[in-house]
């Protein structure tokens, strides 16, 4: 793990065979700061299989500690009501947690459920106080099973060797 700069890995079960990644962890949980994680909570109308993955992941995160043995604070990010989202299709990915952080900003999906879109916006503004939160319509990307984070593929900065 040293080559990755990680001192500890927390494994979550995912859901084998459901998509090419056995469930995108970037649609499920995001570590936003030391000791803080955002957990995607499936919205109304979500399949029971995704609710089960959420419940199991929440249990894992509640009992997991960081490398120093400290517990994490979990902030739940409720998903949109599937009746109100603009996009459709069996592969539609309606996860606000699949956002992208960049220089001073957070790009967040917007799905058309105005109540849920507003709640997600508020939670992420609180989680990233020094950044501007920008909501983006991603209906076409989400209809294909992807999200903003999936499409951007962030690359970490490699520290300079001194």
Q: What is the mean pLDDT of residues 8-25?
A: 73
Q: Does 159 map to a domain?
A: no
Q: Does 20 map to a domain?
A: yes
Residues with Cβ within 8 Å of residue 6, at least 6 apart in sequence: none
Domain housing 66: 2-152
Highest mean pLDDT among 16-30, 31-45, 79-93: 31-45
Residues designated catalytic: 150
Percent of the chain with pLDDT over 90: 40
- The count of domains in the chain is 1
- The per-residue pLDDT for 22 is 60
- The per-residue pLDDT for 78 is 96
The structure tokens listed for 47 are 């399949």
Q: Does 7 map to a domain?
A: yes
Q: What is the mean pLDDT of residues 12-30?
A: 73
Contact status, residue 12 vs residue 56, Cβ threshold 8 Å:
yes
Q: Does 160 map to a domain?
A: no
pLDDT tens, position by position, 47-86:
888 899 899 999 999 999 888 888 989 999 999 998 898 8
Q: Does 19 map to a domain?
A: yes
Residues with Cβ within 8 Å of residue 9, at least 6 apart in sequence: 1
Contact status, residue 70 vs residue 10, Cβ threshold 8 Å:
no
CA distance linking residue 150 with residue 97, whole number of Å:
11
Q: Does 87 map to a domain?
A: yes
- The per-residue pLDDT for 7 is 83
* pTM of the predicted structure, to 2 decimals: 0.83
Q: Does 30 map to a domain?
A: yes
Percent of the chain with pLDDT over 70: 83
pLDDT tens, position by position, 84-106:
988 777 777 788 998 989 889 99
pLDDT, greater one: 112 or 89: 112
CATH at residue 137: 3.75.10.10
Confidence band (pLDDT; 50, 70, 90) for 149? Answer: low
Nearest to 146 by CA among 21, 30, 15, 33: 21
């Amino acid at each position: 793990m040293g080559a990755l700069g990680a001192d500890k890995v927390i494994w979550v079960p995912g859901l084998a065979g459901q998509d090419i990644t056995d469930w995108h962890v970037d649609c499920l949980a995001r570590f936003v700061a030391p000791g803080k994680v955002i957990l995607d909570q499936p919205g109304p109308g979500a399949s029971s299989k995704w609710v089960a993955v959420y419940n199991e992941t929440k249990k894992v995160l509640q009992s997991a500690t960081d490398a120093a043995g400290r517990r994490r604070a979990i902030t739940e990010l409720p998903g949109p009501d599937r009746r109100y989202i603009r996009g459709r299709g069996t592969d539609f990915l309606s996860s606000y947690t699949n956002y992208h952080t960049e220089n001073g900003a957070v790009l967040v999906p917007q799905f058309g459920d105005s109540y849920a879109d507003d709640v997600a916006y508020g939670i992420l503004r609180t989680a990233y106080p020094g950044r501007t939160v920008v909501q983006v319509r991603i209906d076409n990307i989400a209809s294909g099973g992807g999200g903003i984070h999936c499409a951007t593929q962030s690359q970490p900065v490699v520290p300079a060797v001194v």
